Amino acid sequence: MNLSAEDRKVILDSIRDIKDFPKEGIVFKDITTLLNNKEAFQTLMNHLEDRYKSYDLDYVAGIDSRGFIFGAALADRLKIGFVPVRKKGKLPSTTVCEKYELEYGFDEVEIHLDAFPKKNARVLLIDDLIATGGTANAAAKLVKNIKADLVEVCFLLNLKFLDGDKKVAEHAPVYSVIDI
C-alpha cells in the first residue's frame, strides 16, 4: 500500500526542519511537530496500520527513542506486543547488545534476551528516521540474534543520499513512508 500524494503532503508539511542542529551543517528533521498535529499523526498511523495489518506480526520493536512512539501506537492498533530496543544500560533484565560505529566512536543498543516469548516471532522493527543506518543495522542484528523473524524494517523518513537503508536491507526488507 502506497502513501497517497495528499497524505504525503500532510505528513511532510507537519515535519519542521531545524538548521544547524545538533551541529552546524545538519538539517534536523523534527517530528515533534508531526506528533502535536492530530491530522498528520493520524494520517501516518492509519497508513502504517493499513500496511501492516495483513503481515501477521507478533510484535513491533521500536528503536530508542522516537521509534517507541510510532512502534507502541502501531502495536496497539494491531493488537500485538511492543518491544523497546534501548541504548545500553537502560533495560533492567538480562540483555544482549550490539555495538555500532558512530562518526566519532562507538555506541551500543540492547534488547531483553526474552523480549519475544513466542518462538520464531514475526517482528516489525520501526524508527522515525534512517540516516547512515548504524543504529538501525545494530537493532536489526539484535532482533535476528535472539531468533525472531525480522519481517521488515520501517522508517517514517529515509535520507536516501546517506544510503543507510542499504545496510539494513542486508537483514530484512526496508520500507520508508517518505524518501528524502
Place of cell 514475526: 122
Residue 96: what residue type?
V
Residue 1 banded pLDDT, cuts 50, 70, 90: confident
Average pLDDT over residues 122-147: 96
pLDDT of 102 reads: 74
Cell of 3: 502513501
- pTM of the prediction? 0.96
User: What domains lie within the chain, and their CATH numbers?
Assistant: 51-179 (3.40.50.2020)
Neighbours of 49 (CB within 10 A): 14
174/152 Cα distance (integer angstroms): 6
pLDDT at 131 over 80: yes
